[in-house]
Structure 1
Amino acid sequence: MTPNTTRRNETSRRAILTAAFDLLAETGYAKLSIEGIAARAGVGKQTIYRWWPSKGAVIFDAFLMLSEGAEGEPPTLPDTGDLAADLTLVLRATVVEMNDPRYEQPMRALATEIAHDPELAAVYAERLDGPLKEAKRQRLRSAQRAGQLAEDIDLDVAVDLIWGPLFSRWLQRSGPLTAAYADRVVATALDGLRPRRSGA
């Protein structure tokens, strides 16, 4: 019987990503090494380098695997017709994810590597951040068509205004990241983005 190379490669790939994720939680990113990942996964380090150029790239794929389906169908945001409710739901879910110990280490490791590795930053933008930003813009476009947002706002700036404060507070540990904070971000952003009434 001919060995199923594709299945074997996928098994090795998942073993590597699982090993990287587990070691990251155990040792921290600074002490994480390709050699350590290879030993934990039971593969040669050249196998890892054949698929990934750096440990940052391994962690990125491990994060995608943990996220389950991040690269499947294009992401979408809820669109019930109530923009404030939809954004509140999404930002509260983001707060939960950012506070989840399973996600914190890989997300902080990625933030560090992306700041120093232009190649990884480009991959991150193409595979994860770009599609997520487009989903956010699409939801805001829908709100524009419904008359809930001004027609002339810059949607990229609007996305930064709504999601940026959560990431900044999380990254800098500048304050508690809570559902109440997410609610205030939505309320403050939308107060500034709603269409101005004539005569107001």
Structure 2
Amino acid sequence: MSTTQNPDRSRRSERSRQAILAATRELISESGYAKVSIEAIAARAGVGKQTIYRWWPSKGAVIFDSFLALGESEDGAGIELPDSGDLETDLKLVMRATAAEFADPDFERPIRALNAELIHDSELAELYRDKLAGPMDEAKKARLRSAQHAGQLAADADLDLVLETLYAPLFQRWLLRTGPLTADYADALVDITLRAFRP
């Protein structure tokens, strides 16, 4: 008795989605945002334009999801920062990794393209805050609260200000290309921040 197996459409759709996201990252790295088009993404991914427009309303939205996919965990676990019990060690680990990511051309190009779009697209900026920046900030603040409870950070410290003190100089140096993003620079930002906000 023969059986006819129907194709798994969900698996096929996920393969197409991953191909589109990978194609978007490749094209941005090769050509920059301005030269990337929905047509080029579709051709590189081997799908029709209508497939892309079924999932994303704009080129900026595809770029955002292609960047977001870089950080997707296979088990779907939530964002969590290291907590060894030593805030300085944990922050230096995170800041060094952040500086290394921003200095990596394959990671840096899609980030720069995304930031260029966020300036002009308010809906994309809101999506970015809701799906990426907001959850990341909450994960960082959860680690800072743990440090407050352990007496390693002032109990009355403004956690949003702590994060700005840590990350804003790094982001500005990256955005304006004013200097190298090194491990020493990352460590210095942690040292300055902890001097300001320790008990």
The answer as to whether partners of 1:21 and 1:59 remain within 8 angstroms in 2 is yes
Tell me, what secondary structure is at the counterpart of 1:75? Answer: coil
Mapping for residues 4-83 of structure 1, pairs under 5 Å: 4-69=8-73, 72-83=76-87
Question: How far off its partner does 1:65 sit?
Answer: 2.3
Using the TM superposition, give the Cα deviation of residue 2 of structure 1 relative to its aligned residue in structure 2, in angstroms.
Answer: 2.0
TM-score under structure 1 length normalisation = 0.92
Deviation at 1:71, TM superposition (A): 9.1
Indicate conservation of the 8 Å contact 1:52/1:58, yes or no.
Answer: yes
Are the aligned partners of 1:70 and 1:128 in contact in 2 as well (CA < 8 Å)?
A: no
Q: CA deviation at 1:64?
A: 2.3
Q: Which digits, 9 at most, give the CA deviation of each residue in 1:46-80, with x for residues without a partner?
A: 21111011111111211222334299211111111
Aligned residues between the structures: 195
Amino acid paired to 2:36: L
Q: Compared with structure 1, are the counterparts of its residues 125 and 72 closer, same or farther at alpha carbon in structure 2 (3 Å cutoff)?
A: farther
Does residue 170 of structure 1 match 2:183? no
Partners in 2 of 1:23 and 1:81 — Cα distance? 42
Letter in structure 2 aligned against 1:19: A
Determine helix, strand or coil for the equivalent of 1:11: helix
In the aligned structure 2, how far is the partner of 1:191 from the partner of 1:54?
A: 44
Q: Which residue of 1 aligns with 2:154?
A: 150
2:195 is aligned with 1:191 = yes
Q: Percent identity?
A: 60
* CA separation of 1:109 and 1:71: change in aligned 2, threshold 3 A: farther
Distance 1:56 1:72 in 2: 24
Using the size of structure 2 for normalisation, the TM-score is 0.93
The partner residue of 1:159 within 163, 167, 190 is: 163
Identify the match of residue 92 of structure 1 among 96, 102, 106. 96
Query: How far apart in 1 are the matches of 2:161 and 2:175?
Result: 20
Q: Which moved more, 1:85-94 or 1:71-80?
A: 71-80
Q: In structure 2, do the counterparts of structure 1 residues 159 and 70 end up closer, same or farther at CA, with 3 Å as the change threshold?
A: farther
> Equivalent residues in 2 for 1:106-117 (5 A)?
106-117=110-121
Structure 2 Cα separation of the partners of residues 72 and 166 of structure 1? 28
Are the aligned partners of 1:64 and 1:71 in contact in 2 as well (CA < 8 Å)? no
Structure 2 unaligned residues grouped into runs of 5+? none
Output the CA distance in 2 between the equivalents of 1:70 and 1:107.
22
Q: Counterpart in 1 of 2:140?
A: 136
CA distance in 2 between partners of 1:50 and 1:21 (Å): 19
